[in-house]
Structure 1
């Protein structure tokens, strides 16, 4: 079984990590290749070592070159694959789906987001959503109910939760510290809303000087957040750590994980944090299916007082773990289902 995976790039995001973990746990049975259009590839050496070919298309901004490359790629290579697996947050990048359909390559579409922040991209997504549904010839997957509804509609998709390698996170040592550390792991993007954590910290410090914020990740808005920290004179209370491929030990430094995103699919970091067992506060914009442990709660972004009230309550609850082995959040369960889906898609859609 040969699978062509389509994804924007291979950077530090959660969707990329889902793809990489899937490949790690299926490459002995599936011959994977990847096509990207952003030249980020932090997994280059690992993928090369396990025999995964990575193809780089010209950036979509150079629309003529990009379309020409994609047309030639599918014309010359579509027959070499059994299935195309499209990882995306919307259907705005519809070109590979249209080309795969033209060359009769079975298509798996995998939704990893629940909305877009821009009016125009929201409208174009709705157009391609209606167009794609009119064909009724793709195998549709979603990491959460909200991601499924956004990408496909009501009942025309299979729910497949993001899985993690539980062994990496279930035995993380929790560090004792004199401080109360609010942790956050994620790419610095407007949608992640990390500035909220700085405003939250400012209020918390009025109640106790033991609060600290530790943010892990890189991205376009990191400098903006750093500047905001400086403007608030909070440099001694906020620590920035660069992105790391293996983050499990960092969870042990957190007393609580807070995610103030404007929207998400089903964030992998929340599953990882729950495997470790630390308390979590997430904005109400995040799919409620993300909640597994009893020390996980939601809050309204517009009501910071609610967040402030829930932090001491969750800190008091402390670490709680739920058995995740064999659950839908176990990467082995997810990987086995992915393999089954590839064969089902190849047989059903390839007829």
Structure 2
């Protein structure tokens, strides 16, 4: 009998959790199990059209409720109605999150309708540590299965004492898609009139406090002092984009920065980059970090990111206590001896256990899907 799973975690934005959900959906076996999606705080969801096209059966799969944080009464009423109509059809409700407070979209309805709750941690820190600590006991009490993308993400959502009880699910990617392509590199660089001898530093991520774009600019300015023939590609959008654009102008480096906006074919941009930069303030195990390594990019991650992100020899983890000048020096010095063979890394990442096919297989085991 086919398993029915409700996924909570999609938003209207392109992000790591959203990408993970989309990847595991489109590589799933829809003959054995399928997903519905509950989205809160918006009336649209990223990848909604793509997922509906994947299933192609015309069934309703996307449900929307108000944000509990912004309007708790309206949210509770909508959730009560939703679960009254749908709660009994789900084998699992799979909560994919970085915040314990999102358990309110599951509890207490799980008690009434007797579906199993999977809590899946995708972040290594968060905006509200006090709130997180309040809801953590509820998450641990309500969750039938606890999943995580890294040890740091486990500690954040469940607590350090839960490591032995939490199953790690790697943030797998389509390594065939994210394999270096010289053709893609030339096309993207040509589109932006970037010569092959120009050093391109790239970042893909939402413009939010977490991604630390201000420090990216500070590092880049130090790189410019040492190498004038350099460009910075910033792919993505978000609430702080305008602020970062203004900051770049104040620092007099805006002419060397390309704000690329949201891009669907991010694999082409990785190929165009020479360096991937990610000095995040906190992360679990970022999908973009896996994608960048699969494309053979030298990567520079902050030590706020899980050490498990070091999948290949191209991954460098640098302390946030080091200043922008230190980061810039390392990038410049490493660039003098960059490996030219980037095509081999997709296979290395796959063998390390970060293929989407392996991730989907792990989830099937969690759901009890048989071969």
TM-score scaled by length of structure 1? 0.92
Contact 1:326 1:333 in 2 (8 A): no
- CA–CA distance in structure 2, aligned partners of residues 257 and 132 of structure 1: 35
- CA–CA distance in structure 2, aligned partners of residues 195 and 106 of structure 1: 42
- Once the two structures are TM-superposed, the CA of residue 196 in structure 1 deviates from its matched residue by 1.1
Cα deviation, 1:112-155, whole Å, max 9, x if unaligned, reads 001113xxx312211221233245x5200001110011111232
Cα deviation, 1:188-241, whole Å, max 9, x if unaligned, reads 001101111211122222222112111000000000000011112222100000
- CA–CA distance in structure 2, aligned partners of residues 170 and 209 of structure 1: 29
Q: Structure 1 residue 42 and structure 2 residue 39: aligned?
A: no
Contact 1:88 1:111 in 2 (8 A): yes
More helix by share: 2
Calculate the aligned-residue CA RMSD, in Å. 1.9
Which aligned runs of 4 or more in structure 1 are off by greater than 3 angstroms? none
The number of equivalent residue pairs is: 341
TM-score scaled by length of structure 2? 0.87
- Once the two structures are TM-superposed, the CA of residue 8 in structure 1 deviates from its matched residue by 4.9
Q: Structure 1 residue 338 and structure 2 residue 363: aligned?
A: yes
| Equivalence for 2:329 | 309
- Once the two structures are TM-superposed, the CA of residue 296 in structure 1 deviates from its matched residue by 1.3
- CA–CA distance in structure 2, aligned partners of residues 74 and 326 of structure 1: 41
- CA–CA distance in structure 2, aligned partners of residues 109 and 134 of structure 1: 11
Q: Secondary structure at the match of 1:206?
A: helix
Contact 1:101 1:107 in 2 (8 A): no
Q: Structure 1 residue 278 and structure 2 residue 300: aligned?
A: no
- CA–CA distance in structure 1, aligned partners of residues 311 and 334 of structure 2: 14
Contact 2:200 2:230 in 1 (8 A): yes
- Structure 1 segment 95-106 matched on structure 2, within 5 A: 95-98=104-107, 99-106=109-116
Q: Secondary structure at the match of 1:166?
A: coil
Contact 1:205 1:211 in 2 (8 A): yes
Q: 2:248 aligns with which of 200, 204, 229?
A: 229
- Structure 1 segment 157-306 matched on structure 2, within 5 A: 157-173=166-182, 174-175=185-186, 177-304=196-323, 305-306=325-326
- CA–CA distance in structure 1, aligned partners of residues 43 and 16 of structure 2: 17
- Once the two structures are TM-superposed, the CA of residue 160 in structure 1 deviates from its matched residue by 0.8
Cα deviation, 1:311-347, whole Å, max 9, x if unaligned, reads 1233223355252335421000000110110128x9x
Contact 2:220 2:328 in 1 (8 A): no
Q: 2:34 aligns with which of 23, 31, 34?
A: 31
Contact 1:299 1:306 in 2 (8 A): no
| Equivalence for 2:189 | none
Contact 2:223 2:329 in 1 (8 A): no
